Amino acid sequence: MLVKRGAVLVLSGPSGAGKSSLVNEIINDIGDCYFSISTTTRKMREGEKEGVDYHFVTEEEFKKGIENDEFLEYAVVHGNYYGTSLLPVKEALSQGKLVIFDIDVQGNVSVNNRLGDITTSVFITPPSLSELKRRLAKRGTDSPEVIEKRIENAKKEIQRVSEYDFLIINDDLKNAASQLRLIAKTARMKHPTEEINEFIQKWENA
């Protein structure tokens, strides 16, 4: 019998796509999971909390972590470092949890390089660029310059949708959440290559 193991669910998409809202919709329906909290050098925004929204560190601390190979993935986004600490991810996987990442396309490549055989990836996007612009403007948390950077970045990321297992067009929150809920449950069924090989060997010798 295959032993239940942890699995990885990668969520990517432009800021304003509704990734956090979708996770909040499904979080109570998908079993034991760990939402990976990124480490960043970005300044804390009003209302954010250390260890809840991000782990906030200095650029010097972040670079030291890079040197010590403490990150599963990291990237520079809009002039700030963002990364995923490896230790809590390994611990959550060993406990059979579904580890959920909210990372960009560069991060998706890094996660697949390390954990590809247990990773399911989803790209989430609004139905159009114009809708993305509307949502970012309505949110009111970023300056026009930052919004423009986010839009330009979204134009680049959308070209890499084919690198993902699934695409969710978030034009209706309930419908998109239903799709993501099903994908999350399916992600748990993946097994590491090593475990599959062990099963095949036992199957042949039984």
Residue 206 pLDDT? 81
Q: Specify the higher pLDDT residue, 126 or 142.
A: 126
Q: Are 56 and 45 in contact (CB under 8 A)?
A: no
User: Worst-scoring range by mean pLDDT, 1-5, 31-35, 107-111, 146-150?
Assistant: 1-5
Q: Specify the higher pLDDT residue, 87 or 9.
A: 9
The answer on pLDDT for 202 being more than 50 is yes
Average pLDDT, the chain: 91
Q: Are 97 and 8 in contact (CB under 8 A)?
A: no
The token pair at 162 is 């084919």
Sort 144 into a burial class: Cβ within 10 Å, 0-12 / 13-18 / 19+.
exposed
Rounded to 5 degrees, what are φ and ψ at 15? -60, 125
- pTM of this prediction? 0.82
Q: 7-36+97-205 is classed in which CATH architecture?
A: 3-Layer(aba) Sandwich (3.40)
Residue 39 pLDDT? 92
Virtual torsion, Cα 61, 64, 66, 68, nearest 10 deg: -130
The answer on pLDDT for 143 being more than 80 is yes
Q: Are 164 and 24 in contact (CB under 8 A)?
A: no
Tell me what percent of the chain is helix, strand and coil, each rounded to the nearest 5. Answer: 50, 20, 30
The answer on pLDDT for 176 being more than 50 is yes
In tens, the pLDDT along 70-81 reads: 898 888 888 999
Please state the rounded mean pLDDT for residues 105-117.
90
Quickly state the pLDDT bin for 9 (edges 50, 70, 90). Answer: very high
Q: Are 134 and 43 in contact (CB under 8 A)?
A: no
* 118 beta partners: none
Please state the rounded mean pLDDT for residues 67-95.
88
Quickly state the pLDDT bin for 1 (edges 50, 70, 90). Answer: very low
- Taking the C-alpha atoms of residue 120 and residue 99, their distance in angstroms, rounded to an integer, is 10
